[in-house]
Amino acid sequence: MFKNRIFKRIYTNKTSLAGFMLVAFFALVALFAPWLAPVHNSNNPYQMPQRSYEIAPQPPSGQNWFGTTEQQYDLYYGVVWGARLAFEIGVTVTFFAFLIGLCVGTIAAYFGGKIDELLMRLTDIVFAVPSLVLAMVIAAMLGPDIKNMMIALTAVAWPSYARLIRGDILSVKRRDYVTAARTLGARGPRILLRHILPNSIYPSVVVASLDIGYVVLTAASLSFLGLGAQPGTADWGQLIAMARNWVLGTSQNPLAYWYTVAIPGGAIFLFVLGWNLLGDAFRDILDPRQV
Amino acid sequence: MNAAIEIQHLYKTYSRGQWFGGGHETPVLKDVSLVLPANRVLGLVGESGCGKSTLCKVLLGIEKPTSGTVLVENQNVAKISKTQFKNLRRVMQVVYQDPYSSLDPRMTVRQLLSEPLDIHGLYPQKTARTKFLKELLSAVGLAPNYLERYPHEFSGGQRQRISIARALTLDPKILIADEPVSALDVSVQAQILNLLRDISRARKLAMLFVTHDFAVARFLCDDIAVMYQGRIVEKAPAQELFTHPLHPYTRMLLAAVPQVGKKMRGASTPAAACGPNTEGACSFASRCPQAGSACRQTQLQEITPQHWCACSHLPEGENK
């Protein structure tokens, strides 16, 4: 019943259909990356092939479909494998952030009182610092590396899930069927796992899956600042970072190197746009106040 | 007489602690003493907020009593161990008011009815359990093939039948019904009341039936206790209470029951319009048509055999 409603809504609404198509397109690109852009360094498929050591980017050509960026890294390879890396980062970070948020939110809501107060003030502290700044500090402390960047992103993403799940559990906890389970003799773990979580986790799961776009955007920001992927990695943020010197082009032609910015930038733009459109559709469906 | 539930001088006070400054205390139950005899239906009648549901929660062990004792099958609810309480739950079960929120929406009828069996380790064998569940559904007037359906596929009355079936899975001796029909349409109310009456007779249940509706209480109950602001103000066998109501509050409530072909007269004063009560005074005094604020009688007294009332302003001809 529920799934049909979501799919029907996605098919009938043009913007949500566009979002779904965009995300599906990037998912296919990520899935078939080894066929779309054959691996050239089998130790690290995310390492972009370097055509030569010349500094200036080269425009799109038969050999390099999307052109090359600074130091002759192939943009086509970078965008295709970047899609795979984007999904990897987005899914991993969201999964772990959700897991931490789930544990913290559940413990806070279930036990309540002092524990709740303590855990929620902790999440407030994380919330109080702008998330990008906090992620930058953590990433800089751990050292520039994709894995460290993912840790930093997870560390700033979990509080929103903790809050969301806590709220949902608190509302479900008071329902009569939870009390009914208690009067039947059920103990805490059984009530939590069989009654409370199945009735409170679903909105959070959907919200989490739709936050992937935002996580990828933040990851790109960190890579752009040099706190994530290293030069030569097929990462969209990294590709934009390498285009930094070529944004303005030459004095005769300000748009001479447009492809170095527009292609990876466009990939990020479309990827995040897709998730956001899909997210809006889901939020409309899940919000009972909107008809 | 064999008592299924015995409540002695029960007090329940909700206190709200605050981070800064003192807490705030709200007394909900004041000196409640009641006996639910085995195999009888006791009606607990009172207006919203008088403490009826709190009394149920204390009986079910969801809330702890502030003082006083609650004996269920001669076991003190507040004193016994968790394991003993779990066993007690097989004896005492409950039907809730709202059939829409008391059934987990993500469970099928089979899962809902199986849960108490799982918890208490009954009918572990699958075919025997299915047979038992189907018999149970028939007993509450539902088709046995409803087992695999979800609660949202049922109407309010059917859901309440499922709720009753769930309460009966453990074959209890005591059933607490917390306003089980007040959320239902009047036509459905009658069906559920009939079902509860038949079941309580067939299974020889002791039932505490909480309601705010005298008509419902009259239909179902053997004895009736009237509650006002956390106190029992009158208790008597049902027939006696309806023919000779003694307490001014009971009489006010009975006069407020709408009847076809009878003009309503003398609307009662709403509780909110009353001034604060003097300490130790009868809490009904400020609404009472017969008493001043200094009326101090709060203890129940046996006026005529089996008929207890906490008021000195008795109708004429009903002297002690």
Mutate which of B80, B88, B104 to test chain A, going by most A C-beta atoms within 10 A?
Answer: B104
A25 in a structural domain: yes
Chain A, nearest residue to B86 by Cα: A185
Contact present, B234 and B44 (Cβ < 8 Å): no
Strands lying side by side in the sheet with B174-178: B92-95, B174-178, B206-211, B41-45, B223-228, B231-237, B307-309, B301-304
DSSP secondary structure letter of residue B267: P
pLDDT digits (tens, 9 = 90+) for B65-121: 888 889 888 888 888 888 888 888 889 999 998 888 899 888 899 999 999 999 998
C-alpha span between B257 and B217 (Å, rounded)? 12
ipTM attached to this prediction: 0.80
The CATH architecture assigned to B3-17+25-255+282-309 reads 3-Layer(aba) Sandwich (3.40)
pLDDT over 90 at A45, yes or no: no
3-state DSSP assignment of residue A115: helix
CATH of the domain at A177: 1.10.3720.10
- The residue ranking higher by pLDDT, B294 or A8, is A8
- Please tell me the distance in Å from A179's CA to the nearest CA on chain B: 8
Name the pairing type of β-strands B3-16 and B307-309: unpaired
Listed range (A42-51, A104-113, B33-42, B265-274) with the worst mean pLDDT: B265-274
C-alpha span between A233 and A170 (Å, rounded)? 44
Q: Which residue has the tokens 């984007």?
A: A86
A60 in a structural domain: yes
pLDDT digits (tens, 9 = 90+) for A172-202: 888 889 989 988 888 888 899 888 998 888 8
CA dihedral (A135, A141, A144, A149) in degrees, to 10, reads -30
Contacts of A190 in chain B (CB under 8 A): 119
Number of domains in chain A: 1
Instruction: List the single residue in A177, A186, A190 with the smallest CB-CB distance to B103.
Output: A177
A291 in a structural domain: no
**Interface contact flag, B103 A195, Cβ < 8 Å:** no
Contacts of B56 in chain A (CB under 8 A): none
Q: Any CB–CB contact under 8 A between A180 and chain B? A: yes
| Nearby residues of A281 by Cβ (< 8 Å), 6 or more positions away | A9, A10, A13, A15, A16, A19, A20
Q: Any CB–CB contact under 8 A between A190 and chain B? A: yes
Listed range (A98-112, A120-134, A193-207, B126-140) with the worst mean pLDDT: A193-207
A204 in a structural domain: yes
pLDDT at A248: 78
Q: What is the span of the domain harbouring residue A128?
A: 2-286
Q: Which residue has the tokens 């840790």?
A: A151
pLDDT over 80 at A68, yes or no: no
Chain A, nearest residue to B172 by Cα: A184
DSSP string, B196-247: HHHHHHHTT-EEEEEES-HHHHHHH-SEEEEEETTEEEEEEEHHHHHHS--S
Residue pairs between chains A and B whose CB atoms are closer than 8 Å: 51
pLDDT at B252: 84
Radius of gyration of chain B (CA): 21
A151 in a structural domain: yes
pLDDT digits (tens, 9 = 90+) for A215-224: 999 999 998 8
Q: Which residues of chain B have pLDDT under 50?
A: 272-275, 320
**Interface contact flag, B106 A185, Cβ < 8 Å:** no
C-alpha span between A92 and A88 (Å, rounded)? 6
**Interface contact flag, A184 B104, Cβ < 8 Å:** no
C-alpha span between B297 and B280 (Å, rounded)? 9
